[in-house]
């Protein structure tokens, strides 16, 4: 293993005797941008869960995870609904990050009118952008983006993609999507699950 690489060696995952992932052999290099595509239910989220340490492979080994810090935009927003947008981001950041800094990031994804209310009152698109800013601002070596642009309109998708492009340099990015345009926009290496 070299540097901060992640190595999948003959990784398979079975759920109730159903094979979800079979013999995955893959090396993800530091700073690499990988776009994962494939039909629904093919195992993309299972792959992501292994990366995040939320699931253990049935067989095979994954090397390099223990040395890495992760951040993620999950398929669901996974926000603490009773707290406001700023708190949701600051709760995963070091204490020296100021509210001003978070507000500036929100502006970059055109997020306004979020103050003084819990995120439960925000629209789906606004919540999604809070989740994206949270993952981007969190200190991490690897950022996982599981369908990050879900629920955003075309104009916002473009804005958020350019925000991601600007903010994710030097980090390893794993993007799961159904849209090839997103993979192209982030200049990601395509990994097709079939």
Partner 1 sequence: MKDLKKHVHKRWISLLAIALWLILWQVVSGVINSDILIASPIQVVTTLAHLIFEKSFWFSVASSFLKISLGFFLAVITGVLLSLGAYYSVFLKEFFTVAMRVIKSIPVASFVILALLWVRAANLSILISFLMVLPVIYTNVVKGVESTNQELLEMAGVFQMSGIRRLRYIYLPAVMPYFVSACSVGLGFCWKSGIAAEVIGLPKNSIGEQLYEAKLYLMTKEMFAWTVVIIGISVIFEKLILWLIKKLNYALTKEVLEK
**Which residues form the interface with partner 1 (CB under 8 A)?**
52-54, 69-72, 74, 76, 78, 80, 82-84, 87, 91-92, 116-118, 134, 138
For partner 1, the closer CB: 26 or 80: 80
CB of 153 to partner 1, least distance (A): 25
Report the residue number, 6 or 185, with the smaller CB distance to partner 1. 6
Residue 146 token pair? 């599981």
Q: Tell the smallest beta-carbon distance from residue 24 to partner 1 (Å).
A: 21
Least Å from the CB of residue 70 to partner 1: 5
Inter-residue contact 115 to 127 (CB < 8 Å): no
CA dist., res. 65 & res. 5, Å (int) = 8
Interatomic CA distance for residues 32 and 154, integer angstroms: 26
Query: Is the CB of 135 or the CB of 152 nearer to partner 1?
Result: 135
- Work out how close the CB of 71 gets to partner 1 at its nearest, in angstroms, rounded to a whole number: 6
Q: Smallest gap, in angstroms, from Cβ of residue 137 to partner 1?
A: 10
Pick the closer one to partner 1 by CB: 12 or 87: 87
Cβ closest to partner 1, residue 73 vs residue 185: 73
């Amino acid at each position: 293993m070299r540097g901060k690489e992640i190595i999948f060696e003959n990784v398979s995952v079975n759920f109730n005797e159903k094979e979800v992932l079979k013999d995955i052999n893959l090396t993800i290099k530091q700073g690499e941008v990988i776009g994962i595509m494939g039909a629904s239910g093919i195992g993309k989220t299972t792959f992501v869960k292994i990366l995040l340490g939320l699931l253990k492979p049935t067989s095979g080994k994954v090397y390099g995870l223990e040395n890495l810090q992760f951040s993620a935009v999950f398929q669901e927003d996974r926000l603490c609904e009773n707290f406001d947008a700023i708190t949701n981001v600051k709760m995963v950041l070091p204490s020296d990050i100021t509210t001003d800094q978070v507000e500036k990031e929100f502006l970059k994804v055109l997020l306004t009118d979020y103050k003084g209310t819990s995120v439960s009152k925000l629209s789906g698109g606004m919540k999604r952008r809070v989740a994206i800013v949270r993952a981007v601002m969190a200190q991490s070596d690897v950022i996982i983006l599981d369908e990050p642009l879900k629920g955003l309109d075309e104009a916002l998708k473009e804005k958020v993609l350019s925000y991601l492009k600007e903010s994710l340099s030097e980090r390893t990015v794993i993007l799961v999507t159904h849209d090839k345009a997103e993979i192209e926009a982030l200049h990601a290496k395509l990994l097709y699950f079939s």
